[in-house]
């Protein structure tokens, strides 16, 4: 079949140290290395077949850096994955700020292409947990985001599952409902 290969731009965003690079590397290579260059912003790609259809997933592993155009990802991405670290309340607050920024961006465009994903990473570090799963669920519900906890170190399945759902929605042309009505009044 000669159907053009479809492409999906996915941005991984979140506070430094939350595990974005670990998730990106694990998703692409199935490996957890342990140490990641925290200054490296890189975009990876992986071909996914979902429901018999092929899609090229471009995954941008962002770095928060004031000297860069830090909002570059916001216009680039079709899908936002906001990552926090379940052992860091600060990273959770940072994630909330990012979800608000994304909502503002979508409000300006009067559109929402796809629901954002909120990911609580490092679920393997249960004894250091500072953010409960229900807090994560609540924040996701407030922002009409998908939610999952995962561990780049030990188990990325929940992450992969909700990313696949998103890819499937994309391939079927489904749009998530606009977060708010944009009227001229
Ligand atoms: P980034 O700044 O968001 O890209 O975070 P990194 O991917 O560089 O991860 C920061 C630190 O957390 C590194 O030392 C990782 O090895 C560690 N890390 C990342 N994900 C996990 C995880 O799921 N579990 C554990 N235990 N450590 C993790
Ligand atoms: Mg990184």
The predicted-structure confidence for 150-163, as pLDDT tens digits, reads as follows: 999 999 999 999 99
Question: Does the pTM exceed 0.90?
Answer: yes
Rounded to whole angstroms, how far apart are CA atoms 91 and 70?
A: 17
Tokens 């290579």 locate to 29
Rounded to whole angstroms, how far apart are CA atoms 141 and 151?
A: 21
Which of the pair, 19 or 65, is modelled with greater confidence?
19
- Could you tell which of 36, 43, 128, 130 is best to mutate to test the pocket of ligand 1, judged by most ligand atoms within 8 Å of the CB? 36
Q: Pull the structure tokens for residue 109.
A: 């465009």
> Average pLDDT in the 67-73 region?
70
What counts of helices (H) and strands (E) characterise the chain?
Answer: 5, 6
Rounded to whole angstroms, how far apart are CA atoms 114 and 84?
A: 20
C-alpha angle with apex 78: 163 to 59, nearest 5 degrees? Answer: 60
Q: How deeply is 43 buried, as exposed, middle or buried, from its count of CB atoms within 10 A (0-12, 13-18, 19+)?
A: middle
Q: What percent of the chain has pLDDT over 90?
A: 66
Pairing relation of β-strands 42-50 and 79-85? unpaired
Q: How much distance in Å is there from the Cα of 19 to the middle of ligand 2?
A: 7
- Report pLDDT for 3: 63
What is the per-residue pLDDT across 48-66, written as a single tens digit (0 to 9) for each?
998 888 999 999 999 987 5
**Is residue 183 predicted with pLDDT exceeding 60?**
no
**Is residue 107 predicted with pLDDT exceeding 90?**
no
Q: How much distance in Å is there from the Cα of 77 to the middle of ligand 1?
A: 23
Comparing C-alpha atoms, which of 121, 104, 164, 105 is closest to residue 14?
121
Q: Does 36 contact ligand 1 (Cβ within 6 A)?
A: yes
Rg (CA), the chain: 16
Which residues contact residue 158 at a Cβ distance below 8 angstroms, ignoring those fewer than 6 apart? 148, 149, 150
């Amino acid at each position: 079949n000669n159907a053009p290969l479809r492409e999906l731009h996915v941005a991984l965003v979140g506070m430094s140290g939350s595990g974005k690079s670990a998730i990106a590397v694990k998703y692409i290579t199935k490996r957890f290395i342990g140490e990641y260059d925290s200054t490296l912003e890189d975009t990876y790609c992986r071909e996914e077949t979902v429901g018999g259809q092929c899609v090229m997933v471009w995954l941008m592993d962002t770095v928060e850096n004031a000297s860069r155009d830090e909002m570059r990802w916001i216009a680039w991405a079709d899908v936002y994955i906001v990552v926090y670290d379940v052992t860091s309340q600060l990273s959770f607050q940072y994630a909330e700020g990012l979800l608000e920024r994304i909502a503002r961006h979508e409000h300006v465009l009067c559109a929402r292409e796809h629901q954002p994903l909120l990911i609580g990473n490092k679920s393997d570090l249960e004894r250091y947990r500072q953010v409960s799963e229900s807090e994560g669920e609540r924040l996701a519900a407030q922002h009409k985001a998908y939610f999952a906890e995962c561990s780049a170190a030990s188990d990325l399945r929940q992450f992969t599952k909700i990313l696949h759902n998103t890819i499937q929605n994309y391939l079927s042309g489904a749009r998530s409902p606009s977060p708010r009505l944009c009227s001229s009044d």
